[in-house]
Each structure stands twice: as structure tokens, then as C-alpha cells.
A and B are shown apart, each in its own frame.
Chain A
Amino acid sequence: MKMAASSERSPPPFPDAEDQESEPALRDEDSDEGADIFLGTNPLEAMADSTFSASDVLSDLPNDLLGEPPSAVFGDPLSNISKQESTSNPAKQSSKLPSDVPCDIFDPLHGTGMEPKDDGKNASLIDIVINPVTSAKDNLPVDDLLSQPEIDIPAKTKTEQPAELRSEERPKDEPLSVASSKPKKDLFEDSPEDLFSELPKTKAKTKPQMDLFGDSSPDLFMDAKAAADTGPGRNAPADLFSEESVATTTSKSAKSNISANSIVTANSKANGVHSDEEEQDIFAEATVELSLDSPHNNRKTLDTTKPSEPASSLSAAAGSSKAQAKTLEELEEEESEDKFELNISITNPEKVGDGMNAYMAYKVSTQTTLPMFRSKTFTVRRRFSDFLGLYEKLSEKHSQNGYIVPPPPEKSLLGMTKVKVGKDDPSSGEFVERRRASLERYLQRVVCHPSLLQDPDVREFLEREELPRAVNTQALSGAGFLKMINKATDAVSKMTIKMNESDVWFEEKLQEVESEDQQLRKLHAVVDSLVSHRKELSVNTAVFAKSVAMLGSSEDNTALSRALSQLAELEDKIEQLHQEQAGNDFFVFTELLADYIRLLGAVRGSFDQRMKSWQRWQDAQTTLQKKREAEAKLLWANKPDKLQQAKDEIAEWEGKVTQYEREFERVSATVRKEVIRFEKEKARDFKKQIIKYLESLLQSQQQLIKYWEAFLPEAKAIA
């Protein structure tokens, strides 16, 4: 919930970020193109990030990023699309821009330091990145802008890093600052109203931008993501940065640099920040600090730094810090937007065939704007075992790397047999609906996962007309039996492997996951009994209603008899209500819990994978040790003929050790990232579902009020 809360809270932080103008706007819009927007807006961020992370390592990168990649990649689209983005880009464009309002907005950011407060109020120069756009779209009153700008400024100063960065970044930023200085003036000259009036335009512009990005950058984006996933970025923040930056603007080379940097920096900086909560707390604090400091800082910056350069550097620095702060939220939004890019629904369960060979086929319809698919909408028919097959394939490929592969719903021999045999048994209908819904959720989870989405098998599953029949998914087939044995041996080895955990994070997380698993199981059982009790209640209510109806019929006082039969009707309705509520309990709540119990299993699996890879590394080390001892013995025994062979072996094992170590590290990083991602998704899911559940409860209560209120006059009419 907290996480969710932070995302909600995000608007304030956003304004703070100074560099990107278009981004915030997009978010506020909640438009589907949000993702695209990200791409468009991020260049600045990317820059900021790169500089930020690079502070230790990168002296060259910033230049590269700033100078070449943006201009090369973005130059055209940006200039065409929106000028706001140009701000991030080299001075060339900015110089052109000043005339246009958007540019102005943008520029103010850089110039913020120099400008008087008025500017901040007018255009929210500081906020420019975010606020102008947001304001434009939301048509927010000026007041908002005013209130925010100050806060934003402090952002720059708040963190130490930015300050450090300043000095380093200045040279790099200079071009920008120069560019910005001009626009500044323009800004000042323009009245706030102009800004606002212009804003609609910017909106309009942003759209084309999105399209551009959508068309041109998807590949980039994908690559970037992939790179980010597999890449060096171990820490969430680092990853985020790298993903965003890559995705958004920079060329691949820039990407690699960034990611490299991010790795370096990630370890140093991000360690403290791993867990979501911590991060968020930090952010929250940061924002608070910002707001407190803002007036002072604002003034200070204004007074002291008249030259445009420092200001720009500040803004850049601030942007970087902001970017870091934002990353979480961005990630969240990114994810949610991913969903919008790809909508999957499963409909029309249909029985195919007869007797025991019958199966249910489901219509899987996909709606997407992703260019990786051949068309925007397509449907295929899949059967349950296809889903299982997909899972097998995915887990084979990805789970060993530490990915959390969403598990499909379990096979249910009983349920399916009922469906096969039964005619129109309501319970079999319920079963099919339940399975349909859980398959849908399963598939949505798969495509929600950025790296699983890239898997050719997923694409094939969604797109290809005919899939080869999935094998090995039969519940009790030989393969299933083998799998069971494998699992058993795994469990044994798990117990025997004593891993001395080097990373506290993993230890804690694993414990967390395990206790959560237990809790969820308990909760599941309780909710289950709630469902059955409610069903019982509904049955009892129905029986009571009937009995009251009988009583009413034999009552000789007409009014009372009438009231009693009304009561019977009322109870009948209430029975319906209870039944519906029981259904809601089940579908909204129980299924959610069941899903997450399964998912937690997968999370544990990823932890196990990490342990396995650690084990492999340790084994290799022991072997290496043995080889070395053997060599020493040979040396001592003076057997030169075998010595060479031993040396070769040592070299070979040394290679293996480093390879395994690297692998272990890679898996660890992936697991960490995946767990963070999973937690975020979980929080969102739970929030959504619980709200939905409560709403269903609310509805039934309201219905109840209506029923009883209708009954009340009847009761009063008894005389």
C-alpha cells in the first residue's frame, strides 16, 4: 500500500524534476501513449542519469550523450514534434526554439537559477520540465504552477550528489545553459497566459512525438529493455535508469556506457536503497526537504548564480537526482503502460470434441500497439495444455536465470472431468469460468513482464494460428512423474545446501517471502471458509424464505400474512445477494490469493535458482582447489610430464570459477530486480482487487438497504 501511496503521491515529486517537460504531462494525462511519451521525454533524464551515475566514472560519457546521441537520434523527431524536448538536446535546437512557447517553457528550466521568482511563478520555470506540460494538459490554474516551482528548485540543491555533479557537469552542460539562457528571457517576456495558451499546442505536439517514438524507437526501446534486463544494472535504480535512458533517447553506445556506469554506481549508491520502502522513504524525505529548502535555495541560486551555466548544471544535477527519485514511480508507470500497449483477453470457452478426449478451447484475443506483432489485433484459439506448454517453455528458458515466471493455474482433473462428462452442470460452468479468468490473469502477467514479452514463444503463442500440441503436461504422465522426482531431489538438495548468505537483502527477502507465503495460505483458507459460510448462509436464507412464505400463507391476519410473504420475498432477494457476494468473495478475493500463493512459489523458485548457481560456483571453486593441490603434489613429486596437464586443468577451472561467479552475480541481480518488480506488481494488484472487493461489498450492502427500506412500510402496515 505504501508503494501505491507513493505512486499516488508522485505528482508533487514530478513537478520537481526540471529537465523533462513533456514527461509529466503525459503521465497526468493518463493517456495510453504514456509509454511513448516516456520515450520522448526521457532524453533529458537519460542525460541526467548518465551524468549522475557517471559522476564517479564518466567524464566522457556525458559529453557523448549530450552532444552526439541526442542530436543524432532525437534531433529530427524532437524538433518536429515538440520543442520541449529539444531542451534536452544541444543548443542548436534550443536556439531555434526560444520563439516558440514550448521552448520557452523548457528553457526556463535551465535558466531557473538565474530567473527571478516571478518566472517560477509564471511558467514554473523550474518545473518546466514537468509542470508546464502537466499544467497544460490538466489546465491547472496558475496557482499550482506557482506553488510547485519553488519546491522544484530545491530539488536541485537537496542532494549532495547534485552538488558534486555540478562542478563536473558544468562543462558538459554549458551548451545547454547557453541555449537556455536565451529562452529564459523569452520566457520572462512572455506572460504566463501565453504559456498556458500555448500549452494545448504542446499537447498536440506531444502526440506526434509519441507516434514518432512508437514507430521509430520501438526497437531501440526493446533493445534497451533487454539490455537493461540482462545487462549490468543490478540495482533497481540503476536498471531503471538504464532502461529509461536507453529506451528513451540515447544511441546504443550511449546505452552501453550508461549501463556500465550504472553498474559501477549502482553498487556504490544503490545498496542502501534496494528495498522499495527504503527508496520511497528516501524520496519522500527528499521531497519534503526540497519543499522546505526551496525558498532559500531558490533565492540563493537566483542571487548567487547569475550566469546561466551554474543554473543549468544545477538543473541537470537536480534532474539526475530527481530522475533517481522518480525512477520507481516511472517504473511503475512504465509497467502500467506496458499493459496498455498490449491487451489480452480470453473469451468464449468452448468445448471441443466428445467424451474423455474433449477439451476446452479458449479464444485468446490480443490488442496491441507494439510493432513486434504483425498486426494490431489478432485472435487465436488455445487449449489449456497450450498454456501449460507455454509455461514449461518459459520456465525452462528463464527460471534458471532467476526470472520469476508466472505460473499457470493448476490442472484440475476433477473439474475437467466434470466438464467432459457433465452436461450443463452449474458447477462445471463455474469451473470453466474460473479457469478462463485465471488463464487470462496468467497470460496478462506473462506479457506484463518486460523480458518475457520478448520471448519468441510468447509471441508465437499469441500470434500463431496452430501451435504444436504441447506435450508433457498431462497430469500424471511419465513426464509429470519425472518432474515430481526432480522436484523431490531439488527439495532434498535444498535442504542439504547450506548457503552462507553474503547478501543480507536476499536473506531478509527470502524470509519475508516465506512468511508471506504462510500468511497468504492462512488467509486463503479463511477466505475460503468465508465463501463456504456465505454460501451456507445463502442456502439457509433461501430455506427460511420458503418457510416464512408458508407461515405467511397460513397466517389468518391478512396484513400480517401479507407482510410475511413480503418478508419471504425479501429474504429471497437477500439470498441472491449473499450468493452473489459469495461469488465475489471467491472470484475477486480467493482467486487473487490463490494466484499469489502460486506466484510466491515462483519467487521462491527464483531464490532457489540463485542458490543453485551459487552452489555451482562453490563446487567449481572446490574443484579448482583440488586441482591446485594436485599440481602442488605433482610439483613436489617432480613429475613434469603431468604438470602441464594439471596446469591446463587449473586454467580451465579458473575460467569456470570466474564464469560461474559471474553467472551467480547475474542471477542475483536478476532475482533482486525481479523480486522488486514482483512486489510492486503485487502491491498494485492487491490494492486494485481489494478495492474491487470492497466495492462489491458496498454494493450488496446498498442493495440490502434498498430491500429493507422497501419492506419497512409493509411491516408498519400490519394492524
Chain B
Amino acid sequence: MIIFVCVVFQLRSVSVDLNNDVSLLIDIPDALCERDKVKFTVHTKTTLSVFQKPEFSVPRQHEDFIWLHDTLVETEEYAGLIIPPAPPKPDFESPREKMHKLGEGEATMTKEEYTKMKQELEAEYLAVFKKTVQVHEVFLQRLSSHPVLSKDRNFQIFLEYDQDLSVRRKNAKEMFGGFFKNMVKSADEVLISGVKEVDDFFEQEKTFLLDYSTKIKDSTTKAERMTRAHKNVADDYIHVAAILNSISAEENTALKNFTFLQKVEGRVASDQELKLTELLRYYTRDIQAAKDLLYRRARALADYENSNKALDKARLKSKDVAQAEDNQRQCMQKFEKLSESGKKELTSFKGRRVVAFRKNLVEMAELEIKHAKNSVSLLQGCIETLKNC
């Protein structure tokens, strides 16, 4: 069984388009994988005076990111903002498991086949790793490019504090609490869905987002399945090539190309995964964030209406009127503020989404064409050699 001890590598490309704000640039130039912990090096370059130095790097773990996200979500002031979705937990289980399986099946394969499979798995592992790093990077970049969130104190600490943040991991009770909160939230969502929407824009947004989120979720799973199937096909090519190779030494030259074919096919699969599935996945999360915003706004709306009712009641009873009025005013303010920033956020979200889709679709199409062309030339060469021998 092979253990990935550590992988260090460079990153590039972002799957989400962001504003090019030079005042605060964040990237994750490399990351280190130790067992199931991934240590990211978060590198910041800034011109802002809030930071002590113009450039610095700090080590961060996945849990630190989650902590940052959670604090942001829990901050009242940001209720009207779409908080960028937290990056998903790094999942190296599947390639690791596959590696394990491969190790077990080593005896049934030829050496060549085994090496190929191993390489393939390593490549897959690398891809997963790369993706993990990328989503974390994107999370930070989204924060940094956000006018309000980039000023957040916690965020700045996250970036600058050069010691281990030693964020307290959630204990079981909190985990359960979080789960419970979610339950309440979804129940609440159902309850307040009865509240009449006062603003057409939000009404539309809500229906659209609800619809869109189910569909994009669906598409994501389908795309995942498709890429997995593609991967299977690519893996089959490995086996076919290996056996063909061993069947006849003479056929070697021509049939080695089969291996390349597999590589191309495999790349198609992983690129599809990277470009399309990741995009869809990201937006599934992002839309969830937008939905959360809507929920918060709806909650505020409901509160506002409740406070209105409370005020009416108080007036009727002429008791605690001042307090109720105060409460009502607060609720109204909160709601209005939420609505305003929510509107802005949602509009920018839309724009961002379209741009991201465009970018990824174009990239995917270009990659597909590139790969297809590769395999065409490969096949042509292959046929040529075969015909000539």
C-alpha cells in the first residue's frame, strides 16, 4: 500500500472570476499534505495600512477556513451579504481507497499495467489535491475582493497572524447544535415562506434561486456521474493497452499509442471534472449562500412584520408602546438594510455567475477540442504505423 507522504506543488488558475483589486492580493502558492491534514500556505500581498507588512505568508489548515467562514456567517452585520461558501473538506479518501485496492490487486495485473494504474491514481490524487487548494484559495479571494468582507477583522487576523490559529475544533455538542440549527432553519424557511413578499425583485429572485438550485444540484450530480464514467473508460484503455502490449511484442509500436489514447481520454475526464463539474459544484454552494441571504432577509421581514403586529397590539393596549415602536423601527431598519444590500449582492452574484460560466465553458470547449485533436493525431499516427508494418 502506498501512502502519499507529501505533495508540494504550485497552483494557478481560478475557477471563479474576481475583481482585480490590487490592494489585497491573496494566493496559496503551495500546500503540504500530511496524512489527512492539509497545510496551506496563505500568501498575502497588500498595500493596505491595516496590515503591518506589505507581504507575508502564514500556514493555515482547513479548519481555520471553516472557522473564518462560520464567524462571518454569525456576524449580524453581514446578514445582508452573500457570504462566500466555505470550501469543502479535503477528501483524499477515494483515491486513497483506490490505491489500497490497487495494492491488493497487484498480483492480478502485469507489472506494466500496475505501474500505469498507479500513475493514474497518483494523477487523480494530485488533481484532487489541486482542486482542494484551489477552492480554498477562491474562498479567500472572494473575501478579499468583497468591499465589506475584506475589512473584517477576523479575516485580517486570519491572513496576518503568523502563529497557528489553533482554532478550537467543534465539539460534539456544537456539531449537534449546528445540525439542530439547520433543522430549525429549514423548518423556519417553510414557515416564513407564507409571509407575503413585498418586493418583486426578491420574489423573483427567490423563485429563480429555488428553481435554479435544484437544477444545478441535479446537473452537478449528473456531471459527476458522467466524468466518473469517462474516467472508467479511460481506465479501461489502460488495461486494454497493457494486455495488447503483452500479447504481442511486435504490435508494440502501434499499440503503445493506446496508452496515449488512454491518457488523452483521462485528461478529458479530469478536465471536464475540473472545468464543468467544479463550476457547477461551486455554484451549487454559492447559490446555497445566496439562498441563505434570502432566508436571512425573509427572516428579517418576518421579524419586521411581527414587530409591526407587536406595535399594533401595544398601541391597542397602550402598554409598552415606546418599546414596541423601538423594536419595530429596528426591525424595519434591519429589513431595509438587508433588502438593500441583498439586492446589490444578488445582482453582483448574477453577473459573477454568468462570467464564471462563460469562462469555464469556453475553457472547457477549448480543452475538449485540444484533446480531441490530440487523439486524432495520435490515432492517425497509429493507423499509419499499423498500415506500414
Contacts and interface: CB of A to CB of B under 8 A. Distances in A.
A519 B243 contact: yes
B316 to A, nearest CB: 44
Interface in A536-573: 536-537, 539-541, 543-544, 546-548, 550-551, 554-557, 559-560, 563-564, 567
Contact of B215 (A550, A701, A708): A550
Contact of A698 (B208, B239, B376, B389): B376
Nearest to A687: B386
B215 A1 contact: no
A547 B386 contact: no
Among A2, A8, A529, A694, the one with the most B-chain Cβ atoms within 10 Å of its Cβ is A694
Contacts of A705: 369, 372-373, 376
B256 interface: no
A56 interface: no
Interface stretch (A33-41, A433-441, A499-507, A710-718): A710-718
Nearest to B388: A8
Interface string B224-252: 01101110110011011001101110110
Interface stretch (B12-20, B57-65, B91-99, B377-385): B377-385
Contacts of A691: 383, 386-387
B250 A2 contact: yes
Contacts of A711: 365
B365 A701 contact: no
Interface residues of A, number: 57
Interface stretch (A110-118, A367-375, A396-404, A520-528): A520-528
B354 A701 contact: no
Contacts of A143: none
A544 B216 contact: no
A438 to B, nearest CB: 21
B212 A554 contact: yes
Interface stretch (B42-50, B68-76, B356-364): B356-364
A694 B372 contact: no
Given A544-B226, A551-B219, A712-B366, A704 B358 contact: no
A694 B354 contact: no
B24 interface: no
A540 B376 CA distance: 24
B236 A540 contact: no
A544 B369 contact: no
Contacts of B246: 519
Nearest to B385: A1
A705 to B, nearest CB: 4
Contacts of A695: 379, 383
B379 A698 contact: yes
Given A556-B208, A701-B379, A1 B250 contact: yes
A530 interface: yes
B368 interface: yes
Contacts of B228: 540
Contacts of B181: none
Give the top 6 A-B pairs by smallest Cβ distance, nearest first.
A537-B229, A530-B236, A718-B358, A715-B361, A544-B222, A5-B389
15 contacts: A1-B389, A519-B243, A523-B240, A530-B240, A533-B229, A536-B232, A537-B233, A540-B229, A554-B215, A557-B354, A690-B254, A690-B255, A695-B379, A705-B369, A715-B361
Given A1-B389, A540-B229, A555-B212, 6 more contacts: A1-B250, A533-B232, A536-B229, A544-B226, A551-B216, A704-B368
Interface of A: 1-2, 4-5, 8, 516, 519-520, 522-523, 526-527, 529-530, 533-534, 536-537, 539-541, 543-544, 546-548, 550-551, 554-557, 559-560, 563-564, 567, 686-687, 690-691, 694-695, 697-698, 701-702, 704-705, 708-709, 711-712, 715-716, 718-719
